[in-house]
Structure 1
Amino acid sequence: MHITPAHFLEHRVDVALIGCGGNGSQMLTGLARLNHALTALGHPGLRVTAFDGDTVSDANIGRQMFSPADVGQFKSIVLVHRLNAFFGLDWVARPIYASTSELIHVGPGITIMCVDSAKARAKLATALSRTSTYLMDLGNRASDGQVVFGTAGTTEGTGARLRWPYEVLPELIDTTRPEDDTPSCGLAEALERQELFINQAIVTPALGILWEFFRHGRLTWHGAFVNLKTGHVRPLLVPTERQQ
């Protein structure tokens, strides 16, 4: 079992969300709901900074949390403005691609990686292992994917260590593997590459992990592998001290 450090339960927590696309737009919306529930229970809440230099295209509508009126606008600004107005938040949108220097200003806390390439992950992985207390990585292919939540080092009094996501799945930052980064021109073409609800399927267990982390102060699982074709969801259990 991994025990949540006390300061994550007693103080407002800084969260950096990197990427506001398929997984990121769903995740940001879920984080606002999570924050609302936590503050209702007496937690100081979350302070989220969302990074994404991309703009909304026609192909994003339907798969991501955008409408036709959002086309051409920055994804991060659209989502954060909407959630701030809806929930009365003070979250920050950064319409740029996250860099090491930018993440340092957010401060240690939780970084949530919602990017779609090993190159983007690898660019930040080393710096994140030094600046962020916890990292959650979400990734997917056409109909399957995974979420892994972990930490780079050991934190005193937190029980079993959660393995660093790129220690669990080093292929996530392997830039030698071929990747298809050709943009889709429309929703129909995008749906040929990814199932409509794969992002939602990945984000649901990710939010479940964070809920356990904050609400119950412990974790017995810190990731999940999801396959929409077979209907399987396999949890990634927190390793025992012997396994570590």
Structure 2
Amino acid sequence: MDLPRLGFGTYGRTGPEGRDAILAALEIGYRHLDTAQTYDTEREVGEAVRLSGLPRDEVFVTTKVSEGNLGEGQVIPSLERSLEASGLDHVDLALIHWPARKGGPAPEVYLRQLSEAKARGLARQIGVSNFTIALIEEARSILGDGVILTNQVELNPWFRNRKLADHCMSRGIVVTCYEPLARGKVGADPVLQRIAARHRATPEQVALAWELAQGYAVIPTSRNPDRIAQNFAAQDLALSSDELAEIDTLDRGIRSIDPDWGPVWD
């Protein structure tokens, strides 16, 4: 099953309200749910999948292995706990959420375990998140070409992350954009507002349509069913080449997620 390019992020979608938002996304038409061990939403994702009545093979579920589970002998047990929490017998995609910080396990330690998790059937496909160009190349040397499905990174019209994104795409690695709306801030951008008015759309839809037009995957989230539906409709918005080029100029180069222990960014 290929990675659906429009997904639903589940960060913050905890408890019954969160489960209902995830279920609403499935009812609207989303077929890609993104969770993580640190989000504490794996249980809600599993419940929503079951309540939806959809066949399991029609819903693509991604989870991410937390930084605290990267040591020798830790990755596979952590994914088994993820499956127990969700009640699913596999995830469609397992990612390394963050590369280990300085002094932590080497990439070979946790990437080999991730590959073994795929071989055991815990995950159908594997990938990474927040990997730099150097780390992507190291991962490719460890795992081989065509193994890493995606690199999930921060990317939106205000933070283009072009160097890394272009490198990933040149290697056949899909870029999955988190913070695709810059925490909703891009809605205030006058260029996006002007383009949106032209299409009778929202600025947020324009931002998502721009990302999808690059060939990226996007994982917006919301608790509001109307906003969830609006984001889903972005895939039907066709932007002109001039509009895409204009949006390309909006990069401010400012990250929303930048922990002091994170990797040295490109």
TM-score range (shorter-chain normalised) is 0.3 to 0.5
Using CA pairs below 8 Å that are at least 6 residues apart, which structure has the higher relative contact order? 1
In terms of fraction of residues, the more helix-rich structure is 2
Normalising by structure 2, we get a TM-score of 0.33
Normalising by structure 1, we get a TM-score of 0.35
